[in-house]
Amino acid sequence: MASVPKANELIAGTDHKPPKTGWMDTPVEFRPGTWCYSGKSKNLEVVGLPNPREWSPIDDDWKLPENWKEIIFEGLRERIHKYRSFQLFMDICVRCGACADKCHFFIGSGDPKNMPVLRAELLRSVYRKDFTLAGKILGKMAGARELTEDVVKEWFFYFFQCTECRRCSVFCPYGIDTAEITIIGRELLNLLGLNIDWITAPVANCYMTGNHLGIQPHAFKDMIEFFVEEIEEVTGVKIEPTFNRKGAEILFITPSGDVFADPGTYTLMGYLMLFHEIGLDYTWSTYASEGGNFGLFTSHEMMKRLNSKMYAEAKRLGVKWILGGECGHMWRVINQYMDTMNGPADFLEEPVSPITGTKFENAKSTKMVHLVEFTADLIKHGKLKLDKSRNDHLKVTFHDSCNPARAMGFFEEPRYVLNNVCNHFYDMPPNTIREQTFCCGSGSGLNTDEYMEMRMRGGLPRANAVKHVHEQHGVNMLSCICAIDRAVLPPLMNYWVPGVDVTGVHELVGNALVMEGEHERTTDLRGEPLEGMEDSDNEDL
Amino acid sequence: MDLENFLTQHQSAILKRWFNFIIDTYPPETAKLFKREKDPFANPVGSTIFQGMQGLYQELVREIDPETASPFLDKIIRIRAIQDFSPSRAIAFVFVLKDLVREQSRAADDPEETLSQDDLTSFDGRIDRLAMLAFDIYVQCREKLYELRVNEVKNRTHRLLQRANLLAEIPDQEPSL
């Protein structure tokens, strides 16, 4: 009789079963789509990062410095002494597992090394071996292991897989902030010259030119003026923004993504329209032309250096305070780190809204106010004329961007604005929003195209919740207040929830804003016909 | 017993074993959590896979209609196409039903309760049709992934040049009447 293989035998011998070895002894495999390109040497050189060279994670030889072990141990020792929180995070975890299934990368990939507890163990195991007595004596039995090149490769793989979103820390009974462990992990890797191009290039460009892409002042100005023309086409109103204007009351800084990447560009149009309408005395800077700070994803020192540029520019221009656009990690840097890095910014004034007189006491020290908070205050005081029906073609939900949500507790303001500019707003399920929001899956410098497969894994829990409101309420627009979100959520939606587009909150404000002297609007800022205007003649637009 | 009745009667047992087979392709620590957590937002992989399997099972009880079966297959494959599985492993869960149904049939005490060879052949045909659909969906998912990547690169470069006024593009012309 012929031998017929059983159905499950057909697939045996491939990758059916997980590896037989324990996690400590299972090296990582660098498959395409699961790792980011390495940092280019020229970008490391320009900001003085160690060990600049050409290398790739798929090479066997990563060209580490000869004394690489010594560098890591010394770096670890230094940081343990410098950051008490880090030492605590190394020592106090009892491996209760509360965080285990809270990470979006774990939920989406199923890879146990993405359980925050285990990701931290990658570093803790080395710490135990050389910094604790139990680890020195008992070795593996005490959860300790030798530092080898494979361990370093594993760190690179997983510390550039965590988006530092801090969802896990919400659930830790001890308050361990695994993002801070990743931050230190990346700092240690940087000591060996192990970093990714999508972070080091923006860092170098930001340092040299002022923004992530290295857009020079004249081009930056041209780009903003491009939007001035677009706004005039949609509204008939001519806006005249100023650049590098000394003596302006306010310096406005937003992520450069809003200037060049759709759909953030429509959000930028919303900013311009709002400022024009309320007659704000503000200026753009073509030097501090970046709200984002990829230094946060490199090292504390780099974060400090890039952050200082914004304040240096505020000082040079002689403004009273800084208004910041819809950005994610810029606000984490401002709210959590700026004050002790470069602050307090005593040369600036405590921010007061020139329109409503509201004092932003929360920004007393950093002197930097979040635009959504500023706009919510304008609306609360009845300073804006809004026609919500202009967003009636949209059914909107809101993605709490990780940093404003978990690093600022910024939950109500965006929802307040949204409810005032659109009629159809639906929140996603409670365990996927506000403090428990799911990351977009591409934050902390991982929003690069070669990483698309991993990004789809990391973004799965977020997309799953969007899918729910899409199916329940017909939601077709996902709003957010972060430039990385605006860049990465469109492909995420395209893969998981086709039919849902992405917007910044101020794009919707721009749509609803009734402006002095405007002509009748027939389209939204994207040129899409407004409800009831589908048949109007838009040929001139 | 005829095929439809057999599949309906043994639905919960077969579904359970089928679900366990899929989830056991993940590492053991993960599988435990994917099986245990019932909240669809805390555990989208486990719950989406289960929903997809329930729908597919109903399709198998009837005949396979590609129109109605595809969305259920898509639920499962869209997830596995971007996880750490080879293509064959990503869609292997379809084939394994052949074994599971045979085992369930053999386990019946009463010969009247088992499936005939004809029924098994008919069932295998349904699985084969499902497998062809699964192959199509898997490839669509991977194509989509690469399309997203290409689009991201294209949009970034082109829009940037356009906005910086570095392009002299031929303006769109109205068609002459």
* Cβ pair A51, A43 in contact under 8 A: no
Number of domains in chain B: 1
Is residue B108 in a domain?
yes
The predicted structure's pLDDT at residue A8 = 66
In degrees and rounded to multiples of 5, residue A284 shows phi and psi of: -90, 155
* Best to test chain A binding among B84, B95, B120, B130 (most A CBs inside 10 Å): B84
- Taking chain A (541 residues) in runs of 10, the rounded mean pLDDT of each run is 65 56 85 94 96 96 97 96 95 93 96 94 92 86 90 97 96 94 97 97 94 91 94 96 97 94 95 98 96 95 96 97 96 93 94 98 95 98 97 97 94 98 98 97 95 98 98 98 96 98 98 97 94 67 44
Task: Name the 3-class secondary structure at A425.
Answer: strand
Distances (CA, A) of A121 to A90, A144, A291: 9, 9, 33
The predicted structure's pLDDT at residue A322 = 98
User: What is the C-alpha to C-alpha distance for residues A203 and A208, in angstroms, rounded to an integer?
Assistant: 9
Is residue B170 in a domain?
no
Of the partner residues B40, B149, B160, the one whose CB lies closest to the CB of residue A260: B160
DSSP H helical ranges for A192-299: 197-208, 217-235, 257-260, 264-278
Of the partner residues A18, A111, A219, the one whose CB lies closest to the CB of residue B164: A219
Nearest to A211 by CA among A308, A288, A302, A296: A288
Residues of the domain holding B33:
3-141
Please name the residues between 62 and 101 in chain B that touch chain A, using a CB distance below 8 Å. 78-79, 82-86, 88-89, 92, 95-99
In angstroms, how far apart are the furthest CA atoms of chain B?
A: 80
Nearest CA distance, B73 vs chain A (angstrom): 14
- A251 alpha-carbon distance from chain centroid: 22
Is residue B162 in a domain?
no
DSSP collapsed to 3 states, A21-80: CCHHHCCCCCCCCCCCCECCHHHHHHHCCCCCCCCCCCCCCCCCCCCHHHHHHHHHHHHH
Classify strands A321-324 and A396-398 as parallel, antiparallel or unpaired.
unpaired
Average pLDDT over residues B127-155: 95
Is residue B175 in a domain?
no
In degrees and rounded to multiples of 5, residue B125 shows phi and psi of: -60, -40
Angle, CA of A13, A15 and A18, to the nearest 5°: 115
The predicted structure's pLDDT at residue A136 = 86
Is residue B152 in a domain?
no
Angle, CA of A124, A130 and A134, to the nearest 5°: 80
User: What is the C-alpha to C-alpha distance for residues A271 and A276, in angstroms, rounded to an integer?
Assistant: 9
Chain B, nearest residue to A16 by Cα? B25
Chain A hits for B26, Cβ within 8 Å: 18, 110
Is residue B103 in a domain?
yes
The residues, ordered by sequence, that sit 6+ positions from A170 with a Cβ below 8 Å of its Cβ are A102, A406, A435, A436
* Cβ pair B14, B101 in contact under 8 A: yes
Is residue B90 in a domain?
yes
Q: Which amino acid, A12?
A: A
Nearest to A444 by CA among A218, A223, A163, A205: A163
**Domains observed in chain A:** 23-195 (1.10.1060), 204-512 (no CATH)
The predicted structure's pLDDT at residue B177 = 57
Nearest CA distance, A356 vs chain B (angstrom): 35
Query: Domain containing B93 — which CATH number?
Result: 1.10.490
Give the count of beta carbons closer than 10 Å to the beta carbon of residue A226: 17
Q: Which amino acid, A402?
A: C
Is residue B149 in a domain?
no
pLDDT single digits (tens) B71-119: 999 999 999 999 999 999 999 999 999 999 999 999 987 888 899 999 9
Is B110 touching A (CB cutoff 8 A)? Answer: no
User: What is the C-alpha to C-alpha distance for residues B29 and A19, in angstroms, rounded to an integer?
Assistant: 12
* Cβ pair A243, A284 in contact under 8 A: yes
- The count of CB pairs under 8 A between chains A and B is 133
